[in-house]
């Protein structure tokens, strides 16, 4: 058989050389998109995203809500009111900016630190609280740990703790959107740590081979719990992998919300028009602890953290808004004050709402409760009736 006749259409190509020349990830120099400077002014000739005053204000309000929510919930965790929390301190531009560049019909499949997307989409303060207090009004019925949000109405897929699992799922979801001719894409967010999982490689390859309109968005924030990114991967970041899988790829400053929005808007129109995947790598820094169970002083210095404080995405955007005369300090102060009050009040309401009823233990395992679970529930109720004081959340409610 002649190998030539079986040569694939896109046979890997390049110049012919006659003495060996190895290449590595750094042979492909990957530029980084920056639009807004640290001081709140624009880089000369920078290409702005589509953004009017109303949208800019919506983005900023989401930022403020995010900051106050994170600050209050950390405090609530320290007071023992909730068991766990994760902030996205310093990374808000990736998620708020990401969602702001999408349409409501676009699906978002996130990892866990992406509450900014939900804030932008208008997940209510009550919904946030009900999830974190795992009460009977939680859309997820109190089954998962705090921060595992999900909303069908807002096209935000419920978070699953195992890392990377959403990546191939996003490829499949987007492929389904494509087959059904939907005017929608899927945004899949994950950390640079999760990009080491097998699911990342499987997911990108599936999306590339089957040309799914999915935007893979890596929040490269420098750490996976205590593991710094230089112990996570070698090579030119995550972006070089997008190139390897044959998809359109871009690296951006993740602390620059205008760069995030610009890249996302282009990625969305590309993914829709070409019905093909895109990879975005957003360079940022996880300013806070990994979670409330973590203590970063065990693995990094205060100086390093302080250095990154200066790259705060929110302060930068605020200065720009003020320069635009779209915002001012007085409105800023009022906004933060009212958010603090609202969130504090919402905590007090949510913590008093009852826990889910005992029936919720056995529903949703299957579409209908099978016989064996019905029996287990009956036995459980009988047992609870015998020892009501041992099961204070459910006793006396059936």
Partner 1 sequence: MAQMNLLQAINNALDIAMAEDDSTLCFGEDVGHFGGVFRATSGLQEKYGKARCFNTPLAEQGIVGFANGLAAQGSRPVAEIQFADYIFPAFDQIVNESAKFRYRSGNEFNVGRLTIRTPYGGGIAGGLYHSQSPEAYFAHTPGLKIVVPRNPYQAKGLLLASIRDDNPVIFFEPKRLYRASVGEVPEDDYQLPIGKAEVISQGSDITLLGWGAQMEVIEKAAELAANEGISCELIDLRSILPWDVETVAQSVMKTGRLLISHEASITGGFAGEVAATIQDECFLHLESPIARVCGVDTPYPLSLEKEHMADHLKIFEAIKRSVHY
Ligand X SMILES: Cc1ncc(C[n+]2csc(CCOP(=O)(O)OP(=O)(O)O)c2C)c(N)n1
Spatial contact of 111 and 163, defined as CB atoms under 8 Å apart: yes
For the CB of residue 52, give the shortest distance to ligand X in the complex, in Å.
Answer: 31
Residue 249, phi then psi, degrees to nearest 5: -135, 145
Spatial contact of 160 and 138, defined as CB atoms under 8 Å apart: no
Listing DSSP states for 74-130 in one string gives: HHHHHTTSSS-----TT-HHHHHHHHHTS-TTSEEE--SS-HHHHHHHT--HHHHHH
| Binding partner of 57, given ligand X, partner 1, none, CB within 5-8 angstroms per partner class | none
| Binding partner of 253, given partner 1, ligand X, none, CB within 5-8 angstroms per partner class | none
- Establish whether 121 is a catalytic residue: no
114 to 153: interface string for ligand X, x by CB under 6 A: ----------------------------------------
> 187: part of which helix (H) or strand (E)?
strand 186-191
Decide if residue 355 touches partner 1 (CB under 8 A): yes
CB atoms within 10 A of CB 393: 14
Instruction: Choose the binding region for ligand X from 173-181, 192-200, 351-359, 368-376 (rule: CB under 6 A).
Output: 192-200
Closer to partner 1 at the Cβ: 8 or 392? 392
Closer to partner 1 at the Cβ: 94 or 394? 394
The footprint of ligand X on residues 214-233 (CB under 6 A) is 219, 221, 223-225
- Establish whether 286 is a catalytic residue: yes
Residue 151: CA atoms inside 13 Å, Cβ hemisphere, count? 22
Spatial contact of 197 and 164, defined as CB atoms under 8 Å apart: yes
Closer to ligand X at the Cβ: 291 or 319? 291
Give the contacts of 23 (CB within 8 A, at least 6 positions apart). Answer: none
| Binding partner of 119, given ligand X, partner 1, none, CB within 5-8 angstroms per partner class | none
Decide if residue 193 touches ligand X (CB under 6 A): yes
- Establish whether 156 is a catalytic residue: no
Closer to ligand X at the Cβ: 217 or 320? 217
Spatial contact of 212 and 277, defined as CB atoms under 8 Å apart: yes
Residue 189, phi then psi, degrees to nearest 5: -110, 145
| Binding partner of 286, given partner 1, ligand X, none, CB within 5-8 angstroms per partner class | ligand X
Decide if residue 92 touches partner 1 (CB under 8 A): no
Decide if residue 192 touches ligand X (CB under 6 A): yes
> How many angstroms separate the CA atoms of 346 and 73, rounded?
11
Which residue of 77, 87, 115, 135 would you call a contact of partner 1, by CB under 8 A?
135
The footprint of ligand X on residues 148-187 (CB under 6 A) is 161-163
40 to 79: interface string for partner 1, x by CB under 8 A: ----------------------------------------
Instruction: Write 263-268 long-range contacts (CB < 8 A, 24+).
Output: 263/33, 264/49, 264/97, 264/98, 264/100, 264/101, 264/102, 264/187, 264/215, 264/217, 265/49, 265/50, 265/101, 267/101, 267/215, 268/101, 268/102, 268/103, 268/106, 268/185, 268/215
Decide if residue 286 touches ligand X (CB under 6 A): yes
Closer to partner 1 at the Cβ: 170 or 276? 170
> How many angstroms separate the CA atoms of 211 and 171, rounded?
9
Closer to ligand X at the Cβ: 166 or 275? 166
CA separation (Å) from 79 to 130, 148, 292, 347? 17, 20, 12, 12
Give the interface with partner 1 as residue ranges (CB under 8 A).
83-84, 134-135, 142-145, 148, 160-164, 193-194, 196-199, 224-227, 231-233, 293-294, 298-299, 355-356, 358, 360-362, 365, 372-373, 376, 380, 383-384, 386-387, 390-391, 393-394
Residues noted as catalytic: 286, 290, 299
Give the interface with ligand X as residue ranges (CB under 6 A).
113, 161-163, 190-194, 219, 221, 223-225, 286, 290
């Amino acid at each position: 058989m002649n190998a030539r006749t079986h040569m694939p259409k896109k046979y890997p190509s390049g110049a012919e050389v006659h003495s060996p020349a190895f290449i590595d990830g750094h042979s492909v120099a990957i530029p980084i998109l920056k639009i807004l400077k640290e001081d709140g002014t624009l880089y000369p000739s920078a290409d702005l995203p589509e953004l009017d005053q109303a949208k800019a204000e919506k983005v900023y309000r989401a930022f403020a809500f995010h900051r106050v929510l994170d600050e209050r919930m950390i405090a609530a965790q320290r007071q023992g009111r909730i068991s766990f929390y994760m902030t996205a301190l310093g990374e808000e531009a990736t998620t708020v900016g990401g969602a702001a560049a999408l349409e409501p019909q676009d699906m978002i499949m996130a990892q866990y630190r992406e509450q900014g997307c939900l804030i932008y989409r208008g997940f209510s303060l009550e919904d946030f609280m009900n999830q974190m207090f795992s009460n009977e009004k939680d859309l997820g019925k109190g089954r998962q740990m705090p921060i595992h949000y999900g909303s069908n109405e807002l096209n935000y897929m419920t978070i699953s703790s195992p890392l990377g699992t959403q990546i191939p799922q996003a490829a499949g979801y987007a492929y389904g959107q494509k087959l059904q001719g939907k005017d929608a894409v899927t945004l899949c967010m994950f950390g640079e740590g999760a990009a080491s999982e097998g699911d990342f490689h499987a997911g990108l390859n599936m999306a590339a081979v089957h040309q799914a309109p999915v935007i893979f968005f890596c929040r490269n924030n420098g750490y996976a719990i205590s593991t710094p990114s230089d112990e996570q991967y070698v090579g030119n970041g995550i972006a070089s992998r997008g190139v390897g899988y044959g998809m359109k790829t871009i690296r951006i400053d993740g602390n620059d919300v205008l760069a995030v929005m610009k890249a996302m808007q282009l990625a969305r129109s590309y993914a829709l028009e070409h019905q093909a995947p895109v990879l975005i790598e957003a360079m940022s820094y996880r300013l806070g602890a990994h979670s409330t169970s973590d203590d970063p002083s065990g693995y990094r210095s205060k100086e390093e953290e302080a250095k990154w404080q200066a790259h705060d995405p929110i302060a930068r955007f605020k200065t720009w808004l003020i320069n635009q005369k779209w915002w001012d300090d007085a409105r800023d102060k009022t906004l933060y004050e009212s958010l603090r009050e609202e969130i504090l009040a919402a905590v007090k309401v949510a913590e008093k709402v009852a826990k889910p009823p005992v029936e919720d233990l056995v529903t949703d395992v299957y579409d209908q409760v099978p016989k064996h679970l019905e029996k287990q529930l009956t036995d459980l109720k009988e047992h609870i009736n015998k020892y009501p004081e041992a099961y204070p959340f459910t006793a006396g409610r059936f």
